[in-house]
Chain A
Amino acid sequence: MDVLDAHVGIEGSRSILFLEWNLSGFKFDAEAEIWIEIRRAGSYEYRREFLTNFKRGNTEASIDVSNMTDPMNLRLRLKVILDKHGKRLLVGNLDNFVPRVPKDSNKQKGFLKIIKDDSLEVPWCVRVSMGEPFLVISGKKNNYAVLKEQSPVFIPSILPEVVRQIHVWAVNDRERENPEVFNKWKNFLIALGGDEKLFDSDLNEIDDSESNSDNLVFENSRECAAEFARRNSIIDQVDFLYLDSQGDLNA
């Protein structure tokens, strides 16, 4: 790292901007402050965050940028500011740099895969195959094409219920047929408020009564779904992979 390193990473359901800087090669006043300005390219979206001052000497920070429209498309400006004579003098300035993002984030295959099933009688359902949950959309009456076209509205409207059903599956899936997929979902659900104990323990250890266990799972799944719905921006972050037909899972 020369002066600054910046990258955006995904942690659970959040997008985090990681910053590391080394300004030791420059002579700045001990009182000077370091600020970062964050803009989304091509928009008015703007945030500024105080990082540190030279007296404190921190050299890294992480900032949650999940509430920005497109956290993978940010422009940063690092400012070193000295308050002098009632003016905030800009004594250092590194402008318009782009943080690194996860590789191929735009083309990244999402962990919720959507498939079409021509025989499905209801518009959609969640189905688990080989230890992985899928959102299945009926192919009847061209539903799949219509809903895919309408995905910006359709997906957000059903997704909280999909998340709730996947929560129930994840809690009850004791076979862990696909541990990698299971762990992705587990982390995602925990980040939404899922109770870690439910995923890792034998439900009988939590409560002897079967109906109480069911209630616990039901309540927790509803909480996760509600949290998911509340965080509108998360909808933008879950990637979807549309597959042409059921069974073509490697597409």
Chain B
Amino acid sequence: MPNIIVRSFTPSGSAAFKSLILAKPHNIVSEIKKIIKDNSITTETGAVLELRTPKNRLEMAKILWEIFGTEGLLYPRRRDFDLWNWVSAAYFETLISSDIRLDLKRKIGGADRWVLSGDVLRDHRHLVSGPYFAYEANSSDPKKAMCQLATPVTQPGELVERISGKRNLASGPVCHLATLLYYDSEKKSLRAGLTTPPGNPKKFSYYFTQIDRTIDYEGMKVTELIDLLPQNFSKWTKLAKQELSEKKTRD
């Protein structure tokens, strides 16, 4: 796959990109290709990015880590919205082509998926920066964050929405717990039926919101957190304990 020189949008570049995403014209791919090279609304950054199709959010994060990670040239600019918007525009064609769904408008979806705006309630939905920030927040051991990184980039799913969308769940032992409950490390995919109640990600998120004022769960070990979960999670806690004991045996 080709390497491209990374540029950044100017604020007007981001606005032009957002207009295209909202309008969704039939020639959107070629229009976006034009604006990412337009010198009047972009600036060079000096970094180079490999445009390859990521299998899932983890791979997307790893690709981006090369330039935005602690050793990367763009690390100091990793909070720059216009830069992320350019990167998502550059990845637009690759990601849209990798999405097996037929309806282009559904593949594109809402503006939050492609354009960062600084809205803390929505920015985790950004298809390109979302995986990167989930990875960064758990960079000491990204495997513990597979609940946020296992799904395809263009279809993050319910679990990502519930975990990445709440900052106190998105890293540390709670994130690890969500991974143990809902991610099958052997099959390298999310467990089937995870969104079905009881004990689904929605209830998981509600439960931790409920105990946030009474238990310091961020300071507990994942093994303690498993025991803290109420009975309606028992289907998943059994699998999580199994996962932990298998890991112990492997280690």
B118 touches A42 (CB 8 A): yes
Q: Main SS of the interface on chain A?
A: mixed
A1 interface residue, CB < 8 Å from B? no
Task: Select one of A35, A70, A90, A232 contacting B213, CB under 8 A.
Answer: A90
The answer to whether B193 has its CB under 8 Å from any CB of chain A is no
Residues of B within 8 A of A86 (CB): 224, 227
Q: Is the CB of B76 within 8 A of A156?
A: yes
Q: Which residues in window 206-238 of A have CB below 8 A to B?
A: 232, 235-236
* Residues of A with C-beta under 8 A to B170: 44
A30 CB–B CB distance under 8 Å: no
Number of A-B contacts (CB under 8 A): 68
Task: Find the B residue at minimum CB distance from A46.
Answer: B171
The answer to whether B79 and A150 have CB atoms under 8 Å apart is: no
Most buried by A among B167, B227, B228: B167
Known A44-B133, A46-B172, A86-B224: A35·B216 in contact at CB below 8 Å: yes
Q: Report A20 CB to chain B, min CB distance, Å.
A: 22
Contact A79 B136 (CB under 8 A): no
- Residues of A in contact (CB 8 Å), total 27
Q: Which of B46, B137, B219, B227 contacts A153 (CB 8 A)?
A: B46
A39 lies within 8 A of B43 (CB): no
Docked CA distance A42–B170 (Å): 13
Which residue of B73, B75, B80, B219 is within 8 Å of A48 (Cβ)? Answer: B219
Which of chain B's residues have a CB closer than 8 A to the CB of A23? none
Q: Name the contact of B45 in the complex, choosing from A46, A81, A93, A153 (C-beta under 8 A).
A: A153
The 11 sampled A-B contact pairs (Cβ below 8 Å) are: A37-B218, A42-B120, A44-B167, A46-B172, A81-B219, A86-B227, A87-B215, A87-B224, A90-B213, A150-B46, A153-B46
- 19 further A-B contacts with Cβ under 8 Å, apart from A69-B78, A232-B76, are A35-B216, A35-B219, A44-B134, A44-B137, A44-B170, A45-B137, A46-B171, A46-B172, A69-B79, A70-B79, A81-B216, A87-B224, A88-B217, A89-B215, A150-B44, A150-B45, A153-B45, A153-B73, A232-B75
Which B residues lie at the A interface, using CB under 8 A?
43-46, 70, 73, 75-80, 118, 120, 123, 133-134, 136-137, 167, 170-172, 213-220, 224, 227-228
